[in-house]
Amino acid sequence: MNLRDANVVVTGASTGIGRATALLLASKGAKVTVAARDDTRLRELTAEQPTITPMKADLTKEADRAALVAAAGEVDVLVNNAGLGWHGMAEDMPADRLRELIELNVLALMDLTHRIVPGMLARGRGHIVNIGSIAGYVGVPAEAVYCATKYAVQGYTDALRRELSGRGVKVTLIAPGPIKTEFLARATTGGPAPEPGALDYGLPVTTVSRAVLRALTRPPFLPGYRTITVPRIGGWSRLGSIPLISHATNLSVRSRVRAELKKREAAATG
């Protein structure tokens, strides 16, 4: 796809992967509309790149999703990046956080896609890019619900790609491993990180934004196959689903679970 003047929507763009992706696609001449809840950071982003159009939106709300689609117009590219995590044992997860993760990570992604795909089909062109995770292949202790949402994104993306094959609309899954964003900070505290920028460990966010660009502008490595792992070498993000590696992973993370339980016991006893 030629991104010059392409109409692009990037969700969850106030920080991290979404922010880097919006800046990169705008630098290639795309007209980018960005959506997020953090209005302050959206304004900072558009100050850095004035060709980006900000829209404050809480994508867990149907009205905000509808407003975003209406404001964006005829969308050529949708990058579904918005997502939340929650860190802790599954039995301790509050019901409202459970609902919020599913609504944002799964329902919002699907609903935005369903609102935009009919227009793409009518024009005979378009590209949906869903940001998944290594957690869509491997269950991670203390992140059970987050993993469930990313498994859902993986299955949805694979099926949708087959539904739209040959109809002019491409569908890609980007599956990152650990990336240096604010994700873990937000997952632990439930709120924004105290300052923007890279607070976690892992690869820089630009490794993912470049993968998005590659998906949009180059043919897939194998015909009909549109899953890109980050890092790309050997499909690293998928290795944990191999039985022997999965068993080794189980052994290695038991200490993490035990530490979590000890922390809870200590808190209970004062």
Instruction: Give catalytic residue positions.
Output: 146
Count helices and strands in the chain by DSSP H and E runs? 9, 7
What DSSP state is assigned to residue 233?
G
How many other CB atoms are found less than 10 A from the CB of residue 197? 12
Phi, psi of 196 (to 5 degrees): -70, 160
How far is it, in rounded angstroms, from Cα 49 to Cα 60? 27
Q: What is the DSSP string of 235-265?
A: GGGGGGGSHHHHHHHHHHHHHHHHHHHHHHH
At a CB cut-off of 8 Å and minimum separation 6, what does 201 contact?
178, 180
Bridge partner residues of 129 (DSSP): 79, 172
- Rounded to 10 degrees, what is the CA torsion of 182, 175, 66, 64? -10
Tokens of 169: 């609309």
